Amino acid sequence: MTPELARRIELAILKPEALSAEVHKVVADAMAAGCAGVCVAPVWVNRVSRMVSDSGLRVGTVVGFPHGTSKSTLKAIEATSSIKEGAAAIDVVAHLPHVIGLDLDSARAELMEIVRAARSTRRDVIINVIVETALLLQLGDRAERAFEIACRATRESGCDGVVSASGFHPAGGASVEAIKLLKRFGESLNIKAAGGVRDEAQAQDLLQAGADCVRIDPGFEK
């Protein structure tokens, strides 16, 4: 991986059965490669934050993962807890029925509650929203409107960016088509391509489509 590419890559290990040694290896690989960040499950944030102290590697985590079905109050608590333990970025799984139902007000309100709690804990925390774009693409003539709602709710709630997928939804993960739509509707938002990205070639395609960064999950081939 070239240094230029590494600066736009986030390595992640989010599988629920990940062992300590596996998490340690992904974090060590991210530091060695000069990646922008690493994303781990909330249970690992405290340990990983201490491990990367003073390295410049950004520690991120997930909230309401992977389905987004927790109450917004619980998502806010999970976010603040992780931030207190050292997370500099959080990826929140949106409540998908709000987006699928084109309910902008409800989608925005959920995120605003999380943003208020997170920013009261750490003002400069990065907050991204996972919206399962592969599912939205299946909505036919409502797909583009769903992308617009997702991006508007993200932006108007004060979040920083939108993430293409959790990587755990059966509908699929990141795609060039989805990234192009996020780029179209996500003015001023950072766009993270995530979900099923395994190799450098795939990452490059997603960056060319308009992604600002790409999350690569374990198992990718260099």
The answer to whether residue 221 is domain-embedded is no
Residue 162 and residue 150 in contact, taking contact as beta carbons nearer than 8 Å = yes
Residue 115 and residue 158 in contact, taking contact as beta carbons nearer than 8 Å = yes
Number of domains the chain contains: 1
- Among 2, 1, 45, 8, which residue's Cα sits nearest to residue 190? 8
184/178 Cα distance (integer angstroms): 10
The answer to whether residue 120 is domain-embedded is yes
Please report the pLDDT score of residue 106 as a whole number: 98
23 is written with which tokens?
């998490």
The answer to whether residue 169 is domain-embedded is yes
The answer to whether residue 151 is domain-embedded is yes
Q: How far apart are the first and last CA of the chain?
A: 7
141 is written with which tokens?
């003539």
Please report the pLDDT score of residue 219 as a whole number: 53
The answer to whether residue 130 is domain-embedded is yes
Task: For residue 185, give Cα distances in angstroms to 122, 147, 150, 155, 210.
Answer: 28, 7, 9, 10, 12
68/80 Cα distance (integer angstroms): 16
168/92 Cα distance (integer angstroms): 14
The answer to whether residue 127 is domain-embedded is yes
- pLDDT block averages, 10 residues each, the chain of length 222: 92 95 96 96 98 93 97 98 98 98 98 98 98 97 98 98 96 96 97 93 95 83 40
- Among 81, 105, 94, which residue's Cα sits nearest to residue 136? 94
Please report the pLDDT score of residue 54 as a whole number: 85
* Cβ-Cβ contacts under 8 Å for 77 (sequence gap 6 or more): 117
Range of the domain at 171: 3-216
The answer to whether residue 222 is domain-embedded is no
The answer to whether residue 53 is domain-embedded is yes
User: Exposed/middle/buried for 180, CB within 10 Å: 0-12, 13-18, 19+?
Assistant: middle
215/174 Cα distance (integer angstroms): 10
The whole model's pTM is what? 0.95
Please report the pLDDT score of residue 220 as a whole number: 44
170/58 Cα distance (integer angstroms): 29
Give just the sign of the alpha carbon dihedral 86, 188, 65, 95: positive
> What CATH number does residue 158 fall under?
3.20.20.70
